[in-house]
Amino acid sequence: MKLNITTKIVIGFTLGVIIGQILHSTSDPATAAEIGNKFQIVSKVFLKLIKMIVGPLVFSTLVVGIAKLGDFKVVGRIGIKTLGYFYFATILSLVVGLVVVNITRPGTIQSWPRPASGTSIGIEGKKLNSVEEFILHIFPDSAFRALAENEILQIVVFSLFFGIALGAIGEKGKGLMKALDALSELVFKMVGYVMQLAPYAVLGAMTAVVAAKGLEILVSYAYLLLCFYGGLLFFVFVILAGICTFMRIPFFKLLAQMKESLLLSFSTASSEASLPQQIKALEKFGISPRIIGFVLPLGYSFNLDGSMMYMTFATGFLAQAYGVTLTLEQQILMLLTLMVTSKGIAGVPRASLVVIAGTMAMFDLPPEGLALILGVDPFLDMGRSATSVAGNAVATCVISKWEGDFVKPADPIAVED
């Protein structure tokens, strides 16, 4: 019997957990982590191949979609609707994170050892420090550099100008449009080849995480994990499901179509890893390529719902662990600050932690406090990555519905291997 890719990923995930725990139990921590990192080579190769594909895929699909529209006003209208929805979803996810941490109070349920002053947390990465810097960062000074460095937001901006200009030159641009359409098909063919590595990448990623941390860490952080994942489930099955119900979008059919993308993002703790699968799944669901090509790439900078929720939740948790009471005014200030500072962070290593570290400084919380969650962060990252994928899928469907080109999916949905 031939196994589909989803089943293979589940098998890889399970084997990775088992192998990782065996390594963790039978070797000293340093040796287990070293061996686990060797398993992770395949995972790192897989993610590099995905990143290699994402730039050309976003460029070709978005340019063709925009060129077929041929109207700058239509592009502007879709853009305003998209950004409006993204900020609406951002507020909801940040508020959910705050409400969950205030109700469950994971920082007070047990005594958390405070890391020594000056403890290295290994958080590195560039954070955009002002609105001006963020605006300038959106616009590329070189289209080739944007593609080479996988700056998705800059690729989207260049693609918008390219697509509008291509549509404006009419008949002269038809040959180039066909070529870009063929490029899109070619990249999707490459995706099929790369996806054959996915089960092995998942096995390597899980082996590395479990070998280094061990499943024992899940016991010591059980309540924290329960609170955070409970919040994620609430966001997905109440907030996102509620939005879909209001918009008359079949939410559970959407999840069924997205199951491979969700599983891959969860297993690799990377929402970007499943972008090509998301595009294919949403097309099967009845969304036009022009909407998908525009909304999804923007979502990676503006609509990472899982990460947004994590930022308020983790900051609240660390404040509780240090015995610092944040007033309602301070929490509202945190929410408003994160609405701005969290944008444009895609592609920054451990981006959520970088932003959280900056937010902690606002409330005089010591940066070494992040060491309290570093050990369990890979397991938290899995949940927030999958939630961000679900959030962007819903966002794409909502914009498609507003634009009146949503095609109701057939029942049952045929999901290809």
- pLDDT reported for residue 409: 64
Query: Is the sign of the CA dihedral 13, 19, 22, 24 positive or negative?
Result: negative
Quick one: pLDDT at residue 348? Answer: 47
Six token digits for residue 146: 């944007």
Measure Cα distances from 271 to 87, 261, 306 in Å. Answer: 19, 8, 10
| Phi and psi, residue 87, nearest 5° | -70, -35
pLDDT for the residue 128: 46
Residue 357 in tokens = 């570290």
Q: What is the DSSP letter of 295?
A: H
Q: Which two tokens stand for residue 412?
A: 């049952």
- Whether residue 286 contacts residue 268, with contact meaning beta carbons closer than 8 Å, is answered with no
CA dist., res. 27 & res. 39, Å (int): 15
- DSSP letters, 167-230, are HHTGGGGHHHHHHHHHHHHHHHHHHHHHHTTHHHHHHHHHHHHHHHH-THHHHHTHHHHHHHHH
Cis peptide before 366 (omega within 30 of 0): no
Residue type, 217: I
pTM above 0.95, yes or no: no
Q: How far apart are CA 305 and CA 315, in angstroms?
A: 16
Q: Is 105 helix (H, G, I), strand (E, B) or coil?
A: coil
Question: What pLDDT is stored for residue 402 in this prediction?
Answer: 93
Return all residues near 288 (Cβ < 8 A) that are at least 6 apart: 65, 400, 405
Q: Residue 303 and residue 48: Cα distance in Å, rounded?
A: 23
Distance CA 358, CA 345 (A): 13
Q: pLDDT 10s per residue in the chain (417 long)?
A: 678 888 899 999 999 999 999 999 998 888 998 998 899 899 889 988 888 888 888 888 888 877 776 666 777 888 899 989 999 999 999 999 999 999 999 999 877 777 766 666 665 444 445 567 667 877 889 989 988 887 877 888 898 889 888 888 888 888 998 898 898 889 888 988 888 899 999 999 899 989 988 888 888 899 999 999 999 999 999 999 999 999 999 999 999 999 999 999 999 888 888 888 899 999 999 998 888 888 888 887 788 899 899 999 999 999 999 888 889 999 998 888 887 766 655 544 466 777 788 788 788 888 888 888 888 888 998 999 999 999 999 999 999 999 887 776 655 444 444
Q: What is the reported pLDDT for 309?
A: 94
